[in-house]
Amino acid sequence: MKKWLCAAMSALMGSALLLSFTACGKGNGKIRVSIGMWPDPTLTEDIKMYEKWEAAFEADYPEYDIVGDKYEYSAETITAKATSRQLPTVFQTYFTEPQKLIDNGWVADITDELTELGWLDKMDTNMRDAVSKDGRCYGVPRDGYGMGLFLNLEMLHDVGVIEKNADGTYKLHDDNGDPLYPTTFDEIREVSELVVDCYDNTYGLVVLSANNNGGWQFSNMAWNFGCEAMQVRGADGKYTANLNDAGAVKALEWIKDMANDGLLYPDASLTYADWYAKIGSKNVAMAFCGSDSIMLPVTTFGFEKDDIAFVPMPTGDGESRYSLYGGTPYVFASYASKEQIKGALLFLKYMGRSPETDEISLTAIEQGHLTARSKNMPIIPTIRPWTNADFLEAAEALDEQYLNVNLAYYSDFFDSLEQMKRAEEPYYCQDMYKLLDSAIQNVLSRPGTANCKALLDTANSQFQKDFLNKVK
């Protein structure tokens, strides 16, 4: 019995030592770096691309062991993941999240590592500010996006909204250069009426209302109906909730009227995955989305990339025109070692996500384009997070080499983005979006009787009490 107990205790001590060793990132004698952006196993072409980057990296840095981790950030689960030390070394989040992650001590300060690599001063300043606090940087921006309107050109042509050129391409402007596609919310309604009349079981637009996605899009709609801000800073520096602004009420009433008249896809619990599912299945003609996700109907539902246009967000009041401007940053677990952080940053270079212009970096960008082309994805201009001229020149040259769409279908959006772009509201955005989700769900569930002002009054009061009152 004593011998058995000694053996068991030795085994337990050995297991504990191994667990401690692995937690520090040095299992099997190598520095373990878990990459939280690893593709889903079903995305075979993407998996091959990541494995190619992994092999090249480990050949150049044999002291590292790259481990794929398919981690999807969630505002609902981040607390449990972070406190139980289950986060990957590096993972993606949203630009609304870094300040919360920093304040809770869940992500690492990587300023020194970025300075050593020479990357810090090459970041787009707006994106760098989103991942910084008190002069220290806690992340690396992946790319940016602007919100716009996704159009099914085939449907818009069938209902007579747009025309075709002699070469068979779609004509998005009249002879005076004015847009034929909808540029106002009233025109979206008019186009939706034509779509509903022309097709069976098809709707003009899909409106989201779950997983904070509805509130995210609704904030942009509210701005475009004249709401100057949903969070107002007073002279004393304190913030006041403004979710029930007159412009926001008008935006919600527009949704209510569209739903009441059968012009919106009839579901009160749609998430971001649903916009491209409905577009890809041709259940709707239009959707609001970010410019970084235009390819999703193509890659997941076989939508024809030559039938896509992406145009600026419409105006609701005839004057206000904004495009919510955000992006995706990479952040690093607070308990990752300096060696793990350095390895993760270097791996970003092998993914083509650094500002460097050596063969490794540019080959990785090109590999991304080749993989996209193999999946028939639309390859469009990218909103990049780096500002150094040598990188932008080299990356844009690769973009031009692999572009596979008619840029006339995208030019209005990209040409206007600099003037239209607007950052998300400053505090507790995901919590604000969740409250707005609830208001939208109420409207979509009972469009005939919902009181838009009352719903937003309730959301506004709760947001102030539970969240904005915490802002120092």
Strands (E) located in 187-250: 203-206, 231-233, 239-241
pLDDT above 70 for 9 = no
**Tens digit of each residue's pLDDT (9 = 90 or more) over 193-237:** 999 999 999 999 999 999 999 999 999 999 999 999 999 999 999
- pLDDT value of residue 472: 79
Same fold, 26-144+326-402 and 146-325+416-470: yes
Helix (H) or strand (E) holding 117: helix 111-117
Average pLDDT of the chain is 93
The percentage of the chain sitting over the pLDDT mark of 70, rounded to a whole number, equals: 94
Q: What is the mean pLDDT of residues 430-447?
A: 97
**Tens digit of each residue's pLDDT (9 = 90 or more) over 64-117:** 999 999 999 988 899 999 999 999 999 999 999 999 999 999 999 999 999 999
- pLDDT value of residue 27: 59
Domain ranges of the chain: 26-144+326-402, 146-325+416-470
Distance CA 376, CA 379 (A): 9
CATH number of 146-325+416-470: 3.40.190.10
- pLDDT value of residue 8: 41
**Tens digit of each residue's pLDDT (9 = 90 or more) over 352-378:** 999 999 999 999 999 999 999 998 899
Confidence of residue 290 (pLDDT cuts 50, 70, 90): very high
The percentage of the chain sitting over the pLDDT mark of 90, rounded to a whole number, equals: 91
- pLDDT value of residue 75: 85
Distance CA 23, CA 19 (A): 6
Question: Considering only CA atoms, which of 458, 127, 168, 423 is closest in space to residue 307?
Answer: 168
pLDDT above 50 for 7 = no
Confidence of residue 26 (pLDDT cuts 50, 70, 90): low
Of the two residues 145 and 75, the one the predictor is more confident about is 145
Distance CA 97, CA 99 (A): 6
CATH number of 26-144+326-402: 3.40.190.10
- pLDDT value of residue 462: 98
pLDDT above 70 for 17 = no
